[in-house]
Amino acid sequence: MPEIFGIPLTLLFGQLLVGLINGSFYAMMSLGVAIIFGMLRIGNFVHGAQYMLGAFGAWYLMNLPELLPGWGLPSIGYWGALIIVPIGVGLVGALMERLFIRRVYNLDHAYGLLLTVGLAMFIEGMFNVTYGAAGQRYDVPDALQGGVNLGFMFLPIYRAWVIVLALTVCFGTWYLIERTKLGSYLRAATENPDLVRAFGVNVPRMLMLTYAFGVGLAGMAGVMAAPIYQVGPQMGQSIIITIFAVVVIGGMGSISGAIISGLMMGLAEGLTKVFYPQASTTVVFVIMVIVLVLRPAGLFGRETTAHSTADVSSGRAGSILENGKLWFGILLAIGLVLPFTLFPIFAMKILIFALFAMAYNLIFGYVGLLAFGHAAFYGTSSYVAAHSASVLGWPPELCVLAGVSAATAIGALFGWLAIRRQGLYFAMITLALAQIIYFYALQASWTHGEDGIQSVPRGMLFGFIDLSDSMTMYFVTLTVFMGAFALIYRIIHSPFGQVLKSIRENEDRSISLGYSTNRFKLIAFTLSAMLAGLAGSMKALVFQIASLMDVFFMTSADALLMTLIGGVGTLLGPIVGAAVIVTLQTKLATFGAWVVVIQGAIFVLSVLFLRKGIVGTVEEYLANRKARRENNAVLPDKAMEPGE
């Protein structure tokens, strides 16, 4: 058998074919994301769910007689689905744009990304409730079955068809946007909508159709993927993070960059499977890191003046809800009573997630940087602490210190790589970097893969405090939480914290005053990672387990959701949000898969109607009431002036 570098040619070309097929899907998906971001400035995280809708749409059409018995409907095969489904998914996208996406166009870009995260959770959760995790079978159409023996490899006809069709669609779309009058109108509508309206163009309708077109590409990719991969609710979730990494590599908003990078990354995966299979799942993210170091705007992106995420905070200086000394005492009193009214384990879960949310709020609420990878710090610390206790036999204080140190080191590295980009770029980079940690934890022997590290011993704190007792463990956790609360309050009210707030509100002004804003943001990011690591270490000891869920994307989403619900940039918001979400998760645990659906709905509703969060809304009410009282006190005095 012919070989090259000791690798059989059949294996090499076979994996290159698989890589080219994956690259074709990456290119089509990335193209849709790039169009929507480039034209609408929306980081469409729901794109993976729309890809899944395309696959399920093809499956529905094929099984119409069984799904709707008695209606007399015929089964619609692959060729009909290839036309009908992209149009149908595009119409669903148009409706989604009309009802949800349009409401955040004029807001900071962070809200668009948060909204689509919630929509993705809701849609995927609904399909998971209906079909479970098992995949549905979809056969290759008869006309495309079989293959061709090329001598050095066997080429399946359907896979060759997928490559040709994907390339045709990608380059056709590129030509439409970059070389036609319609494409010029689309680009102009995003840069100067008033001018385009002057030419009689209905800009809102054009933007809706643009979103629908990008979503339709995802739907078509889903139809094409159905005969190759199993049709399942999680198929979009498993690809969307890779897609965003590909888009970052190509350059956010670059149409040609999305196509070329998608194909290149698919081939890179294929080659990696040949020479070093263990790294095939992370190679895209490693390449992304290298590209960002050399070209922060991506391979085909253009350097622009990036703006930080706008001030999404709700905290009001001088508010009673921002009085750290007062609330330290109140929280301490509540904490002392809590284990006698709730199960200690449940109470500790609230404290740990509140600490995690406070750590996240430090970077999002007080610096204005939307991060999507805090699960990397939380999970890394959890694994390191669990390993130190279970295998190395270290005492709990050293286990926590080891976990926090690991999280801090990774936070400093990730921050250094990501901090040069801002806004949606920063969010996508932190998400992609966190995936490297996830795939490492999945494959490393010491993390035990999907089993995780179980039965973690709590040990003796300082050699004489027995943490095996739940009440003792609770009061140690409360002590750690109160210490972290005091530290965060000190940080945000120090001169350093004031600089962070000034960066959040107007970074250009901070630079003009002589501050090295990147250095301040890096320090804040590292502190946030350190505190997230503290929460992760405590979690490993409290629940005596470290698992893949600790480093999974949804853990980052939980921290974000808690902060958003409680109130971004408020002192108490993350704590209130953690209490609400942990309680909901516990109470709704009997509903199984419905928990994700409900969380997604809460995400969407919070972005649309409760952007200030619970604490932020209360603060606004108190401030307005105080203003009304002051006005009422001043008006009578003014009324007496004419008669004086």
pLDDT one-digit tens code per residue, 430-461? 988 999 999 999 999 999 989 999 999 999 99
Note the pLDDT tens digit of each residue in 113-124: 889 999 999 999
For residue 289, what pLDDT band results from cuts at 50, 70 and 90? confident
- Of residues 187 and 263, more confidence is placed in 263
In eight-state DSSP terms, residue 278 is G
* pLDDT band, very low/low/confident/very high, at 281 (cuts 50, 70, 90): confident
pLDDT category, 322, cuts 50, 70, 90?
confident
Q: What is the pLDDT of residue 408?
A: 98
Q: Give dist(CA 432, CA 14) in Å, integer.
A: 27
Residue 565 contacts by C-beta under 8 Å, 6 or more apart in sequence?
Answer: 576, 577, 580, 581, 602, 606, 610, 613, 614
572-614 pLDDT, tens digit per residue, is 999 999 999 999 888 877 777 788 898 899 989 988 988 888 9
Tell me what pLDDT residue 628 has: 82
CB atoms within 10 A of CB 505: 14
- Separation between Cα atoms, residue 259 and residue 534, nearest integer Å: 41
The pLDDT value given to residue 308 = 43
Banded pLDDT at 107 (limits 50, 70, 90): confident
For the chain, what are the domain ranges?
29-234, 328-611, 615-644
pLDDT digits (tens, 9 = 90+) for 190-219: 666 666 777 777 778 888 988 999 999 999
Range from 103-107, 245-249, 339-343, 627-631 carrying the lowest mean pLDDT: 627-631
Q: Which of 38, 19, 22, 20 is nearest to 174 (CA)?
A: 38
Q: What percent of the chain has pLDDT over 90?
A: 52
How high is the mean pLDDT of the chain?
Answer: 87
253 torsion bin: left (phi>0), alpha (psi -120 to 50), beta (else): left
Q: State the Cα–Cα distance between residues 358 and 412, nearest whole angstrom.
A: 18
How much is the average pLDDT of 10-14? 76
**3-class SS of residue 490:** helix
Average pLDDT of 263-275? 90
Read off the pTM.
0.88
Does pLDDT of 68 surpass 60? yes
Give dist(CA 44, CA 41) in Å, integer.
9
**Domain with residues 328-611, CATH architecture:** Orthogonal Bundle (1.10)
- The three-state secondary structure class of 588 is coil
Q: Which residues contact 180 (CB under 8 A, 6 or more apart)?
A: none
CA distance 468 to 486: 27
Q: Determine the pLDDT at residue 34.
A: 87
Instruction: Name residues whose C-beta falls within 8 Å of residue 310's C-beta, 6 or more positions apart in sequence.
Output: 108, 110, 368
pLDDT reported for residue 595: 86
| Mean local confidence (pLDDT), 69-75 | 81
Structure letter (DSSP) for residue 457: -
HSE of 21, CA atoms in CB hemisphere, 13 A? 20
pLDDT at site 338: 93
Of the listed ranges 28-37, 51-60, 299-308, 373-382, the least confidently predicted one is 299-308
